[in-house]
């Protein structure tokens, strides 16, 4: 028995995440064109069904309507399939650029964050950085899922997180320029221990 090799790279098949920029744009353009054609075909079939059959033979008219309904269902199924594929490709297209830009944003966040948490130690800086990255990851994946389901525009789903974190980066940079401390672990721990005392003043040895 001869086994046929099914290497996806040799066969030319690649998922949307494995495609290069050129392959992605070409596939997206082709599927958008096909989607437009299928939508026009579907509309034409719906118009023909609404107009009814011109045949005087009732049996022939029923057969014609059944054939048109069958063609309509096939066209409608293909339209839904193409719409889903176009959304997925559009998300991946914007994702390639948004993730590249995210590297710059995380650098913009990381530098001032390190300066503003230096008095609290490396543990605090690492914890805050991890929380920020986790929030970004969850927001990015949540946006991707919403876009794949057609509930959110692909562009917004991939760039909204970058926009929010870019604003956060500017805020942190401004704070570092003004030499403001984002977190002071000693002050935070003192406040937690003396929470029941109300508005007790923080001792100088804790602040400094």
Domain count, the chain: 1
- What local confidence, expressed as pLDDT, does residue 133 receive? 85
pLDDT for residue 32: 93
pLDDT for position 6:
41
What pLDDT does 181 receive? 55
Q: Which pair of tokens denotes residue 147?
A: 């876009």
Residues lower than pLDDT 70 in the chain:
1-16, 53-56, 117-125, 179-208
Predicted confidence at residue 190, as pLDDT, reads: 56
- Residue 13 in any domain: the answer is no
Of 79, 93, 97, 100, the closest CA to residue 31 belongs to 79
Q: 127 in a domain, yes or no?
A: yes
**Domain boundaries, position 144:** 19-195
Would you say 105 and 169 are in contact if contact means Cβ atoms under 8 Å apart?
A: yes
- pTM of the entire structure? 0.66
Phi-psi region of 192 (alpha: psi -120 to 50; beta: other; left: phi over 0): alpha
The rounded distance, in Å, linking the Cα atoms of 15 and 65 is 39
Question: Does residue 177 lie within any of the structural domains?
Answer: yes
Per-residue pLDDT at 202: 58
Cα dihedral across residues 23, 25, 26, 30: positive or negative:
positive
């Amino acid at each position: 028995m001869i086994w046929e090799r099914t290497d996806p790279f040799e066969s030319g098949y690649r998922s949307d995440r494995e495609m290069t920029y050129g392959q992605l744009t070409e596939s997206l353009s082709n599927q958008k064109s096909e989607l437009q054609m299928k939508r026009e075909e579907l509309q034409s079939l719906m118009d023909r069904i609404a107009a009814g059959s011109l045949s005087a033979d009732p049996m022939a008219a029923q057969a014609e309507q059944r054939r048109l309904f069958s063609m309509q269902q096939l066209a409608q199924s293909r339209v839904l399939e193409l719409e889903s594929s176009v959304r997925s490709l559009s998300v991946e297209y914007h994702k390639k650029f948004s993730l590249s830009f995210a590297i710059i944003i995380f650098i913009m966040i990381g530098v001032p964050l390190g300066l503003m948490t230096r008095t609290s130690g490396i543990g605090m800086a690492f914890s805050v950085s991890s929380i920020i990255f986790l929030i970004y990851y969850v927001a990015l994946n949540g946006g991707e899922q919403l876009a794949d389901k057609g509930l959110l525009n692909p562009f917004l789903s991939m760039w909204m997180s970058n926009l929010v974190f870019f604003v956060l980066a500017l805020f942190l940079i401004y704070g570092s320029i003004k030499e403001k401390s984002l977190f002071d672990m000693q002050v935070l721990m003192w406040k937690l221990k003396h929470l029941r005392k109300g508005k007790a003043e923080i001792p100088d040895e804790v602040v400094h």
